C-alpha cells in the first residue's frame, strides 16, 4: 500500500521503492532497541513529574519580573531529577545552546583560570566565546587561558589528559557528547563516565562540564549520572520535545548552578527572576513528549543511514551502531550534491517548503553553512533538519523528525530527486 502510494503520488522510482522496502525490514531490530530506550526514559520523566506533584496550576504564566513562578520552580526540580542532579536552571531567557554554554563558562571562570577542552576544538559557535576567533568580549579578553587536547584516533587521548592535568591547574574541563560538525563517532555515556573518572582521579577539584546538545534521552543515562558536574543543552533540540518554543538548560551541582544563575540574570538576583510568559506548558509537555520524539528522530536517522548506505554513500553512524545523539552524518564528497540534498530536505518539510536554502556566512560559524529547517519552531533541530558547513568532504548533518513517517517521506523524496538529477 505505502509503496503504491509513493509511486502514484510522488512518482518515486521503482529502484528507490525497492530499497525502501528492504531497508524498512532490515532495520526492524534496531528500531525495537530504540523503543526500549524510549520506554525507560518515559518512566524516568513520568516518575519525576509525579514525585514533584506537577499540577495544572504549574502551567500558568508569569509576566514582568516573574517572582514566585511556581511552574518555573517545578520545571527546574523535574529537570534536576531527570538528570540525577542537585539543581537546574531552565529558562526561556537562555536564547540557545551556545548561550547556555557561554553563561556557564563566564559564570565559573575567573581571570587567570584555565579552560581545557579534551575533544579538540569545541563546537564552532564557541570559537568567539572562548577567543579561538578574535572577539573583544571573549573569555580570552578577560584573561582566561584556553587549551585543548586533540583526539587520538577519534577517541579521548587518556594519556595526554592524565599528563596535562598532572602538570597544569585546570579549573574547568569541557567536553562535547555529540560529534558536532565532525566526521567521527560521538561520545557515549560509558566513555564520558570513564574519562570523568580519569580527570577526577588526578584533579578532583577540576569542574567537568558536558555539552549535551543532541544527547538527551538517546541513552538511558545522562552525563550527570556518570559524574559530570555541569550539563548544558538547548530546549529546541531533544529535551524540548518539539514543543518548547525557545530556551536552554544547565543542570548539575547546586553551588555551580547558583553561580550560573547569578550570571544568567544578575548577581543578587539569580534564579528568582525570569518571567515564563506562557511557556511553562510547552516546556513541561515537551519534556513529557521528549523520550518518544527523540525515539522518532533516531528511527529516522537509522532509516536514513541505511538508505544512503544502500545508495553507495558513507554514513556515520552506521544503521546498526549504538547511538548517543540524534545526529546522522552523510558524506557526499561533492558540493553540489550536498547543497541539493539540503534543499530537498527543505522542500519536503511542513513549513517553508517553497524556500530554497543557500550557503551563507552564519553568525558564529567560520565556514559558510547551509541549513535546511522547515520547522514549526524556527531552527529547531529535533524537527527534520539538515546543516552542512561548506567544506571538504561535503558532509550533511541531519537531525530529527518529530515523526518517523514524515522523516521517511522527506528522505525518500529527497533521494528520488537526487537520483533523478543523476548528480
What CA–CA distance (Å, rounded) separates 38 from 41? Answer: 5
Residue 245, all three cell numbers: 518554543
Stretch in the footprint of ligand PLP (CB under 6 A) among 20-28, 176-184, 190-198, 268-276? 176-184
Q: Considering the rule CB under 6 A, would residue 127 count as an interface residue with ligand PLP? A: no
Instruction: Kindly state the number of chain residues that form the binding site for ligand PLP, as judged by CB under 6 A.
Output: 12
Among 71, 97, 241, 389, binds ligand PLP (CB under 6 A): 97
Distance between CA 172 and CA 333 in Å, rounded?
Answer: 37
Burial 275-300 (b: 16+ CB within 10 A, else e): bbeebbbbbbbbbbbbbbbbbbbbbb
Within 43-62, the residues that bind ligand PLP by CB under 6 A are: none
Query: How deeply is 358 buried, as exposed, middle or buried, from its count of CB atoms within 10 A (0-12, 13-18, 19+)?
Result: exposed
DSSP string, 401-416: -SSHHHHHHHHHHHHH
Q: Which of 123, 146, 164, 288 binds ligand PLP (CB under 6 A)?
A: 123
Which range binds ligand PLP by CB under 6 A, 84-92, 155-163, 173-181, 216-224?
173-181
Distance spanning both ends of the chain, measured CA to CA:
30
Q: Does 180 bind ligand PLP (CB under 6 A)?
A: yes
Contact 190, 221 (CB under 8 A): no
Interacting span for ligand PLP (CB under 6 A) from 68-76, 209-217, 312-320, 349-357: 209-217
The answer to the question of residue 222 lying near ligand PLP (CB under 6 A) is no
Which of 92, 138, 178, 261: binder of ligand PLP (CB under 6 A)? 178
Instruction: Give the CB-nearest residue to ligand PLP.
Output: 97
**Is 98 an interacting residue with respect to ligand PLP (CB under 6 A)?**
yes
Q: Does 214 sit near ligand PLP (CB under 6 A)?
A: yes
Comparison of 27 and 209: residue with beta carbon closer to ligand PLP: 209
Residue 331 bridge partners (DSSP):
314, 395
By CB under 6 A, name the binding residues for ligand PLP.
Answer: 96-98, 123, 125, 176, 178, 180, 211, 213-214, 234
Amino acid at each position: 500500500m505505502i509503496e503504491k502510494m509513493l509511486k502514484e503520488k510522488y512518482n518515486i522510482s521503482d529502484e528507490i521503492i525497492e530499497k525502501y522496502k528492504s531497508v524498512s525490514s532490515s532495520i526492524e531490530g534496531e528500531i525495537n532497541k530504540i523503543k526500549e530506550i524510549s520506554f525507560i526514559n518515559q518512566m524516568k520523566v513520568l516518575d519525576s513529574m509525579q514525585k514533584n506533584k506537577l499540577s495544572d496550576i504549574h502551567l500558568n504564566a508569569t509576566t514582568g519580573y516573574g517572582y514566585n513562578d511556581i511552574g518555573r520552580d517545578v520545571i527546574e526540580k523535574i529537570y534536576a531529577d531527570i538528570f540525577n542532579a542537585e539543581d537546574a536552571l531552565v529558562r526561556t531567557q537562555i536564547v540557545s545552546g551556545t548561550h547556555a554554554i557561554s553563561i556557564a563558562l563566564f559564570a565559573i571562570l575567573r581571570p587567570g583560570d584555565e579552560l581545557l577542552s579534551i575533544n579538540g576544538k569545541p563546537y564552532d559557535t564557541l570559537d568567539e566565546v572562548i577567543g579561538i576567533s578574535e572577539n573583544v568580549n571573549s573569555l580570552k579578553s578577560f584573561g582566561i587561558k584556553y587549551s585543548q587536547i586533540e583526539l587520538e584516533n577519534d577517541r579521548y587521548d587518556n594519556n595526554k589528559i592524565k599528563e596535562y592535568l598532572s602538570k597544569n591547574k585546570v579549573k574547568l574541563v569541557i567536553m562535547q557528547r555529540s560529534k558536532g560538525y565532525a566526521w567521527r563517532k560521538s561520545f557515549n555515556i560509558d566513555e564520558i563516565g570513564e574519562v570523568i573518572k580519569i580527570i577526577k582521579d588526578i584533579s578532583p577539584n577540576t569542574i567537568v562540564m558536558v555539552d549535551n546538545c543532541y544527547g538527551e534521552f538517546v541513552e538511558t543515562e545522562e552525563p550527570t549520572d556518570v559524574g559530570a558536574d555541569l550539563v548544558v543543552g538547548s530546549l529546541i533540540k531533544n529535551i524540548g520535545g518539539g514543543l518548547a518554543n525557545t530556551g536552554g538548560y544547565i543542570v548539575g551541582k547546586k553551588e555551580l548552578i547558583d553561580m550560573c544563575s547569578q550570571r544568567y540574570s544578575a548577581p543578587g538576583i539569580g534564579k528568582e527572576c525570569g518571567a515564563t510568559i506562557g511557556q511553562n506548558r510547552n516546556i513541561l509537555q515537551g519534556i513529557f513528549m521528549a523520550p518518544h520524539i527523540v525515539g522518532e528522530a533516531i528511527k529516522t536517522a537509522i532509516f536514513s543511514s541505511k538508505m544512503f548506505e544502500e545508495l553507495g554513500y558513507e554514513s556515520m553512524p552506521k544503521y546498526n551502531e549504538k547511538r548517543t545523539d540524534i545526529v546522522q552524518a552523510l558524506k557526499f564528497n561533492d558540493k553540489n550534491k550536498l547543497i541539493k540534498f539540503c534543499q530537498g530536505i527543505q522542500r519536503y518539510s511542513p513549513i517553508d517548503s517553497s524556500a530554497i536554502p543557500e550557503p551563507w556566512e552564519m553568525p558564529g560559524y567560520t565556514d559558510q553553512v547551509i541549513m535546511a529547517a522547515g520547522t514549526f519552531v524556527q531552527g529547531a533541530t529535533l524537527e527534520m533538519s539538515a546543516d552542512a558547513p561548506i567544506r571538504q568532504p561535503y558532509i550533511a548533518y541531519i537531525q530529527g523528525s518529530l515523526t518517523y513517517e514524515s522523516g521517511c517521506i522527506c528522505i525518500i523524496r529527497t533521494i528520488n530527486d537526487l537520483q533523478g538529477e543523476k548528480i
